[in-house]
C-alpha cells in the first residue's frame, strides 16, 4: 500500500515536472522587416517554457517591441510562425483569439492601454470581450483589483490615477483574462522609486503564482535577480540566450548596462535591486 | 496625471447620478427642445431649475464658468452679430465714414435670448455628461442608434465612450505640446496660421499615435462588438423625472 502511494507521488511529481518543461510558446524563424527603415526582427527562433521568467534585453531599436507584438498576433510575420501549445496563432481566427487570451500583453504606455471609464470597468473590459457571464466577470475583477490593491479605487476615473496605479491597472486588465504568459514591454519606465518597488513585488508574485513572464527592458538591473533566462536582441537578431548568471558580464557589448553588483565585482554578481 | 474636463464624469450618489440613462436622454431631449422654444420667463424658470440641479449635484458654478471660456467668446460673437445686423430702434451708432454701424434694441434682445438658450442647453449637456458614466452613455447611444438603419450601433456607442474617456488625455497632450512650444518662445510667433500649424501638426501626430496604441491594446484584450452586454441600471425614481420634465417643458413653452 505504502509502495503504491510512493509510486503515485513520484508519478505526480514527474507529471508536474514534464508540465514545467512543456513549451507554451514556440517561435520559429520569425522575420518582420519594416520596408521604410529596413529594421525589424530577423530569423528569431526560441521557445518559452511554463513558469519561465525571461528578460528580453536590448538597446533602443533592437526589435524588442516588434518581437513582442508577434507573440499574441498583433503583427503578422513576413516569414516564420509563433506556435501556442503547438498550434500556429495565425492559423485561424479562433487560434488568434486564444493567443490573445493566453498571452496577455502590457504595453509601455499605460495611458493608451486603459479603455474603461472607471478602474472597475477597465479591468472588466477583457472578460467582457471573452463573453463571460456577468457574475464571473465581477468575481474576476474583484479578485484582481484586490490582489493589486486597487479595489478601493474601483469607481475612480483612470485619468486621475498616478503612473504606478495606472501600470497596476494595466496589469489588472490583463490578469482578469487569466493568461498563461504575461508579456511586459519596459514595465518600469517612467515610474518613481515606490511605484517601481510595488511593480517589482507584483511581478515577483505573478512569477511565484506559476505564470510565465516575458519582460522587455534595456535596464536589466531591476529584474535580473528574478529572471531564469535572458535573451539579448541586437539589430533584430538574437545574439545570446542563456541564464542571467552566464550572460551578465557580456551585456555591455550589446549596449545594455551591466548591473552595479556585477560591475563592482560583488559576490554573487546578481542581487535583488532592492532588499 | 491628466486633468478632468468640464464634461468628465464624476462619481456621485444623488438621484441624477443613479437615474436610468434612457430616462436622462429623454428628459434631456425634452428640456433641450422646450429650452429652444422658450421665452424670457421660460428660460428664467429653466435657469432656476438648472441652478438647483447643479447645486444638488455638487458641481461648482465658478469652475463651470471658467471652463467655458471659448463658449463665452462664441456667445459674445453671436450677441454682437445679432445686435448689429437686426434692424430696429437704434441704441447707438458708429460712423466709419463709408459704413455706418447701428446697434439695435431688438438685435440686443434677440441676441441675448439666443445666448441664454445656448447657455441653458450647454448647462444641460454638462449636467448630463458629468452625471452619466461613459459606459452607460455607450448603452444609451446603442439604444438610440439601434432603430436607425445602416449605422452599427455598438461601434457608434464604443466611439462615443472612447471619445469621452480620452478627452482628458487629448487635452493633456495639447497642453504638453503648447508648453513645449512656449518653452522655446513659441508665443513670439504672431502669425495665427503658423501658430495653428505648429500646434496642430505635433498634436495630431500624438493623437494618431495614441489611437494606434489604443487599437493595439484593445485588440490584445480580444475586443469584440459582441461582448457581454450590461443591463440598464434603474433607480426607481424615473417616473417622477418623466413627470417633472413633461410639466417643466410644458410650462417653459407656455410661459
Give the residue-averaged pLDDT of A89-103.
92
Q: Which residues pair with residue B205 across a beta bridge?
A: none
Residues of A in contact with B214 (CB under 8 A): 112-113, 115
Give the residue-averaged pLDDT of B160-185.
84
pLDDT at A14 over 60: no
Domain that holds residue A34: 2-263
Q: How far is A129 from chain B (nearest CA, A)?
A: 4
Report d(CA B234, CA A143) in Å as an integer: 26
- Which residue in chain A has the smallest CA separation from B161? A117
- Which residue in chain A has the smallest CA separation from B226? A129
Query: Cβ separation of A117 and B161 shorter than 8 Å?
Result: yes
Give the residue-averaged pLDDT of B121-132.
90
Confidence of residue A5 (pLDDT cuts 50, 70, 90): low
Encode pLDDT of A176-226 as tens digits.
999 999 999 988 887 888 888 888 988 999 999 889 999 998 889 899 999
Sheet (strand A87-88) strand order = A40-49, A23-33, A79-84, A87-88
Residues of B in contact with A117 (CB under 8 A): 9, 133-135, 161, 164-165
List, as one string, the DSSP characters of A190-226. T--HHHHHHHHHHHHHHHHTT-EEEEEES-GGGTTTT
pLDDT at A265 over 80: no
pLDDT at A8: 59
End-to-end CA distance of chain B: 47
Q: Which three cell numbers stand for residue B137?
A: 452613455
- Sign, Cα dihedral of A165, A166, A170, A172: positive
Number of domains in chain A: 1
Report d(CA A232, CA A62) in Å as an integer: 9
What is the CATH classification number for the domain harbouring A99?
A: 3.40.50.300
Could you list the beta-strand ranges (E) of A34-169. 40-49, 53-57, 79-84, 87-88, 103-106
Q: How far is A33 from chain B (nearest CA, A)?
A: 19
Q: How far is A2 from chain B (nearest CA, A)?
A: 49
pLDDT at B133 over 60: yes
CB count within 10 Å of CB B44 equals 14
Report d(CA B63, CA B8) in Å as an integer: 13
Give the residue-averaged pLDDT of A141-154.
92
pLDDT at B226: 85
- Which residue in chain B has the smallest CA separation from A75? B216
Q: Which three cell numbers stand for residue A67?
A: 518581437
Q: With respect to residue A275, please indicate whether it lies within any of the assigned structural domains.
A: no
Q: With respect to residue A31, please indicate whether it lies within any of the assigned structural domains.
A: yes
Mean per-residue pLDDT over chain A, rounded: 87
Residues of A in contact with B164 (CB under 8 A): 117
Residues of A in contact with B220 (CB under 8 A): 72, 74, 100, 104-105, 107, 174
Q: With respect to residue A190, please indicate whether it lies within any of the assigned structural domains.
A: yes
| Size of chain A in residues | 275
Q: With respect to residue A274, please indicate whether it lies within any of the assigned structural domains.
A: no
Confidence of residue B129 (pLDDT cuts 50, 70, 90): confident
pLDDT at A13 over 80: no
Substitution target in A75, A112, A144 with the highest count of B β-carbons within 10 Å is A112
- Sign, Cα dihedral of B85, B86, B88, B92: negative
pLDDT at A20: 53
β pairing state of A229-234 and A53-57: parallel
Q: Which has the minimum average pLDDT: A253-262, B20-29, B97-106?
A: B97-106
Q: With respect to residue A101, please indicate whether it lies within any of the assigned structural domains.
A: yes
Q: What angle do CA A117, A119, A122 make, to 5 degrees?
A: 65
pLDDT at A179: 93
Report d(CA A214, CA A226) in Å as an integer: 12
Q: With respect to residue A17, please indicate whether it lies within any of the assigned structural domains.
A: yes
Query: Cβ separation of A157 and B9 shorter than 8 Å?
Result: yes
Confidence of residue A11 (pLDDT cuts 50, 70, 90): low
- Please tell me which of the candidates A115, A155, A159 has its beta carbon nearest to residue B217: A115
- Please tell me which of the candidates B164, B210, B219 has its beta carbon nearest to residue A117: B164
Q: Which has the minimum average pLDDT: A145-149, A204-208, B86-90?
A: B86-90
pLDDT at B50 over 80: yes
Show Cβ contacts of residue B237 under 8 Å, excluding neighbours closer than 6 positions.
B15, B18, B19
% of chain B exceeding 70 in pLDDT: 98
Q: What angle do CA B11, B13, B14 make, to 5 degrees?
A: 120
End-to-end CA distance of chain A: 47
Give the residue-averaged pLDDT of B196-215.
89
Residues of B in contact with A115 (CB under 8 A): 162, 165, 214, 217-218, 221
- Which residue in chain A has the smallest CA separation from B207? A112
Confidence of residue B249 (pLDDT cuts 50, 70, 90): very high
Residues of A in contact with B213 (CB under 8 A): 107, 109, 112-113
Residues of B in contact with A156 (CB under 8 A): 11
pLDDT at A83 over 60: yes
pLDDT at A9 over 70: no
pLDDT at B253: 87
Query: Cβ separation of A100 and B220 shorter than 8 Å?
Result: yes
pLDDT at A7: 59
Report d(CA A41, CA A47) in Å as an integer: 16
pLDDT at B200 over 80: yes
Give the residue-averaged pLDDT of B196-223.
90
Residues of B in contact with A69 (CB under 8 A): 216
Classify A128 in phi/psi space as left (phi over 0), alpha (psi -120 to 50) or beta. alpha
Please report how the helices B105-131 and B40-57 are oriented relative to each other, as an axis angle in degrees rounded to 10. Answer: 30
In our burial notation (b when 16+ CB lie closer than 10 A, e otherwise), range B168-206 reads bbbbbbbeebeeebeeeebeeeeeeeeeeeeeeebbeeb
Q: With respect to residue A81, please indicate whether it lies within any of the assigned structural domains.
A: yes
- Which residue in chain A has the smallest CA separation from B134? A117
pLDDT at A10 over 70: no
Nearest Cα neighbor of A67 from A233, A221, A212 is A233
pLDDT at A17 over 60: no
pLDDT at A235: 92
Q: How far is B246 from chain A (nearest CA, A)?
A: 31
Confidence of residue A97 (pLDDT cuts 50, 70, 90): very high
> CB-based contact (8 Å) between B219 and chain A?
yes
List, as one string, the DSSP characters of B128-146. HHHHS-HHHHHHHHHHHHT
Q: With respect to residue A117, please indicate whether it lies within any of the assigned structural domains.
A: yes
Percent helix, strand, coil in chain B, to 5, is: 70, 5, 25
Burial of B235 (0-12, 13-18, 19+ CB in 10 A): middle
The number of C-beta contacts closer than 8 angstroms across A and B is 97
Amino acid at each position: 500500500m505504502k509502495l503504491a502511494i510512493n509510486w503515485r507521488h513520484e508519478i505526480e511529481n514527474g507529471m508536474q515536472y514534464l508540465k514545467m518543461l512543456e513549451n507554451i510558446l514556440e517561435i520559429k524563424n520569425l522575420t518582420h522587416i519594416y520596408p521604410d527603415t529596413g529594421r525589424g526582427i530577423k530569423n528569431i527562433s526560441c521557445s518559452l517554457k511554463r513558469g519561465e521568467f525571461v528578460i528580453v534585453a536590448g538597446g533602443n531599436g533592437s526589435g524588442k517591441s516588434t518581437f513582442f507584438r508577434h507573440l499574441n498576433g498583433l503583427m503578422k510575420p513576413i516569414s516564420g510562425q509563433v506556435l501556442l501549445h503547438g498550434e500556429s496563432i495565425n492559423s485561424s481566427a479562433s487560434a488568434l483569439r486564444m493567443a490573445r487570451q493566453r498571452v496577455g500583453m502590457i504595453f509601455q504606455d499605460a495611458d493608451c492601454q486603459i479603455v474603461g471609464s472607471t478602474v472597475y470597468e477597465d479591468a472588466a473590459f477583457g472578460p467582457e470581450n471573452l463573453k463571460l457571464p456577468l457574475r464571473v466577470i465581477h468575481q474576476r475583477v474583484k479578485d484582481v483589483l484586490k490582489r493589486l490593491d486597487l479595489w478601493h479605487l474601483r469607481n475612480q476615473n483612470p485619468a486621475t490615477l498616478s503612473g504606478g496605479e495606472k501600470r497596476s491597472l494595466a496589469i489588472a486588465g490583463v490578469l482578469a483574462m487569466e493568461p498563461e504568459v504575461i508579456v511586459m514591454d519596459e514595465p518600469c519606465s517612467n515610474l518613481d522609486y515606490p511605484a517601481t518597488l510595488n511593480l517589482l513585488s507584483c511581478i515577483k508574485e505573478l512569477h511565484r503564482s506559476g505564470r510565465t513572464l516575458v519582460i522587455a527592458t534595456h535596464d536589466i538591473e531591476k529584474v535580473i535577480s528574478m529572471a531564469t533566462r535572458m535573451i539579448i536582441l541586437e539589430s533584430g537578431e538574437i545574439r545570446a540566450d542563456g541564464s542571467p548568471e552566464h550572460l551578465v558580464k557580456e551585456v555591455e557589448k550589446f549596449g545594455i548596462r551591466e548591473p552595479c553588483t556585477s560591475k563592482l565585482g560583488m559576490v554573487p554578481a546578481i542581487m535583488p535591486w532592492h532588499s | 496625471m491628466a486633468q478632468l474636463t468640464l464634461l468628465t464624469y464624476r462619481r456621485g450618489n444623488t438621484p441624477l447620478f443613479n437615474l436610468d440613462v434612457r430616462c436622462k436622454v429623454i428628459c434631456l431631449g425634452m428640456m433641450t427642445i422646450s429650452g429652444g422654444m422658450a421665452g424670457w420667463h421660460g428660460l428664467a424658470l429653466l435657469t432656476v431649475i438648472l441652478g438647483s440641479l447643479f447645486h444638488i449635484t455638487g458641481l461648482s458654478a465658478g469652475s463651470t464658468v471658467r471652463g467655458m471660456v471659448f463658449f463665452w467668446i462664441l456667445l459674445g460673437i453671436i450677441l454682437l452679430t445679432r445686435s448689429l445686423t437686426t434692424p430696429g430702434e437704434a441704441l447707438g451708432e458708429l460712423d466709419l465714414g463709408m459704413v455706418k454701424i447701428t446697434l439695435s434694441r431688438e438685435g440686443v434682445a434677440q441676441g441675448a435670448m439666443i445666448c441664454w438658450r445656448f447657455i441653458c442647453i450647454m448647462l444641460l449637456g454638462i449636467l448630463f455628461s458629468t452625471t452619466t458614466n461613459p459606459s452607460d452613455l455607450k448603452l444609451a447611444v446603442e439604444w438610440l442608434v439601434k432603430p436607425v438603419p445602416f449605422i452599427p450601433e455598438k461601434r457608434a456607442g464604443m466611439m462615443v465612450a472612447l471619445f469621452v474617456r480620452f478627452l482628458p488625455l487629448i487635452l493633456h497632450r495639447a497642453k504638453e505640446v503648447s508648453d513645449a512650444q512656449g518653452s522655446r518662445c513659441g508665443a513670439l510667433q504672431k502669425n495665427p496660421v503658423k501658430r495653428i500649424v505648429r500646434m496642430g501638426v505635433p498634436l495630431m501626430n500624438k493623437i494618431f499615435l495614441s489611437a494606434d496604441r489604443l487599437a493595439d491594446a484593445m485588440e490584445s484584450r480580444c475586443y469584440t462588438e459582441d461582448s457581454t452586454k450590461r443591463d440598464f441600471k434603474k433607480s426607481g425614481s424615473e417616473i417622477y423625472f418623466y413627470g417633472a420634465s413633461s410639466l417643466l417643458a410644458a410650462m417653459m413653452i407656455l410661459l
